[in-house]
Amino acid sequence: MKIVILGTGEVCRVLAPALLSLGHEVVVGTRDPRKTMTGNPHYRLLAARHPELRLASFTNAVESADRSGLVVNAISGPACLDALVPLAAGLTGHVVMDVSSPYDWSRPDAVLDPVNTDSLGEAIQRALPGSFVVKTLNTLAAQVMPDPEVVAPDHTIFVSGDDEEAKLRVGDLLSAMGWRDVLDLGGSRTARATEMMLRMWIDASAALGTHLLGFKIVR
Ligand SMILES: NC(=O)c1ccc[n+]([C@@H]2O[C@H](COP(=O)([O-])OP(=O)(O)OC[C@H]3O[C@@H](n4cnc5c(N)ncnc54)[C@H](OP(=O)(O)O)[C@@H]3O)[C@@H](O)[C@H]2O)c1
């Protein structure tokens, strides 16, 4: 299927090659394609390795999206809403797989925002009322997202969203990437739970000295 990844950061750099290797067509969205190709050496390297990747502005990338495919939100958490709101009309009818975290990694004193009584996943769904937002993969380091076995064969990946068909489409992609324990937590409100797991992820990573970890719900 056609997959548009909004964002050129680490998540894009890991997911794009994995999605290409699964046979998907991938278009990457950025604020300014020319600036990204000249000023983002990590992305330039990715593009050199994968000439089949297309880079476009956020708007053009969304315009190229297919309603039977997926749009991945991999934009910096604090910038997500401002970046996505102007794309709302173009994203109508699309499944948006949201991997964002409501956390500002550039600030040492950062807190989760929103938290407890709201989540970034819900805020994105409100900002994109015509889209089907599915929160997932946000409980992991980018390297683990398309390859659970980097950590272990059977840890848990969570999905949250209001639309069952959208969750099935995302679930199919997760299965293709090797996820076996896909736990549908329920509606978009449940994104609060997985977004708040970031604090545990940060502390567990520090305690273990590695980002390569995952969560397992034992039952
Ligand atoms: N990295 C991880 O291991 C990881 C794990 C779990 C969840 N996440 C979440 O996944 C998302 C992507 O993470 P990442 O590490 O790949 O990248 P990131 O550094 O968090 O974000 C990079 C992307 O955000 C865009 N961006 C930054 N500021 C912007 C602004 N003011 N307006 C519009 N766009 C802006 C950049 O646009 P340009 O392309 O134009 O520069 C770039 O495409 C984040 O929400 C992050 O919290 C990341």
What the block records as the tokens of 109 is 């004193």
Q: Would you call 25 exposed, middle or buried from its count of C-beta atoms within 10 A (0-12, 13-18, 19+)?
A: middle
C-alpha 12 – ligand 1 centre gap (Å): 9
User: What pLDDT does residue 127 have?
Assistant: 98
Contact partners, residue 167, CB within 8 Å, separation at least 6: 134, 159, 161, 184
User: What pLDDT does residue 94 have?
Assistant: 99
User: What pLDDT does residue 89 have?
Assistant: 98
Residue type at position 102: P
pTM comes to: 0.98
- The Cα–Cα gap between 172 and 56 comes to 26
Cβ–Cβ < 8 Å for 89, 71: no
Ligand 1 atom closest to the CA of 8, numbered from 1: 43
Which residue of 10, 32, 75 sits with most ligand 1 atoms within 8 Å of its CB, as the best mutation to test the pocket?
Answer: 75
What the block records as the tokens of 151 is 């950590």
User: What pLDDT does residue 108 have?
Assistant: 86
- What are residue 12's phi and psi, to 5 degrees? -60, -45
pLDDT tens track for 14-61: 999 999 999 999 999 999 999 999 999 999 999 999 999 999 999 999
Residue type at position 118: D
User: What pLDDT does residue 140 have?
Assistant: 98
3-state helix, strand, coil in the chain (%, to 5): 40, 20, 40
Cβ–Cβ < 8 Å for 188, 161: yes
Instruction: Per residue of the chain (219 residues), give pLDDT as tens.
Output: 999 999 999 999 999 999 999 999 999 999 999 999 999 999 999 999 999 999 999 999 999 999 999 999 999 999 999 999 999 999 999 999 999 999 999 998 899 999 999 999 999 999 999 999 999 999 999 999 999 999 999 999 999 999 999 999 999 999 999 999 999 999 999 999 999 999 999 999 999 999 999 999 999
Q: How many C-beta atoms lie closer than 10 Å to residue 22's C-beta?
A: 14
- The Cα–Cα gap between 17 and 1 comes to 14
Contact partners, residue 155, CB within 8 Å, separation at least 6: 148, 181, 214, 215, 216
Q: Mind listing the domains of the chain with CATH numbers?
A: 2-208 (3.40.50.720)
Ligand 1 atom closest to the CA of 40, numbered from 1: 41
Task: Collapse the DSSP code of 207 into the 3-class scheme (helix H, G, I; strand E, B; otherwise coil) and give the result.
Answer: helix
- Tokens 């300014």 locate to 32
User: What pLDDT does residue 132 have?
Assistant: 99
Tell me, what DSSP letter sits at residue 204?
A: H
C-alpha 14 – ligand 1 centre gap (Å): 13
Q: Whose CA is closest to 132, among 65, 55, 77, 197?
A: 65
Pocket of ligand 1 (CB under 6 A): 7-12, 30-31, 36, 74-77, 79, 83, 99-101, 103, 138, 141-142
Residue type at position 25: E
C-alpha 2 – ligand 1 centre gap (Å): 21
Ligand 1 atom closest to the CA of 7, numbered from 1: 43
